[in-house]
Amino acid sequence: MRHLATFAFAAIGGALLGVAVHRLHWTALLETLTVLLSGWVFGSLIAAGAWLVWPPQGVDVLAVSFGLVEAFIGATAVAVLGVLLHFGFIAAGAVWPGLAGLRPAALGVVGAIIGMIGFAGGWAVKPVV
């Protein structure tokens, strides 16, 4: 139940975040990267909060932290994915013109889900180095 609630909250929050950033009227690529990276951070924070509120059985972790190297590697990977998705939306917009309007909300959801899964899967809590 914890994962379902976290998923739903992250997806809705990511979509709302995408719509809010879209209202700033930035360039499309900057908007895409901002939405995806902030959605990633939002999803990670939601998963960390769910971890602290509903810890898994047998786990006595009472604090959550992150390292600079892990954050840099994760942000770089999400930014590269964001550029690929941005140009993918442009290509798909040639086929379905209305798809471009969904880009900010969809990328907010994608970013939040990536952040949530990264934390829930344990990749955010395992050291890289």
Contact in structure between 93 and 25 (CB atoms under 8 Å): no
107's tokens: 């990328």
Give which of 101, 103, 107 is closest to 36, Cα–Cα. Answer: 107
- pLDDT tens column, 58-85: 767 666 666 778 788 889 999 999 999 9
9 band by pLDDT with thresholds 50, 70 and 90 = very high
The pTM score is: 0.84
- Report which DSSP code applies to 97: G
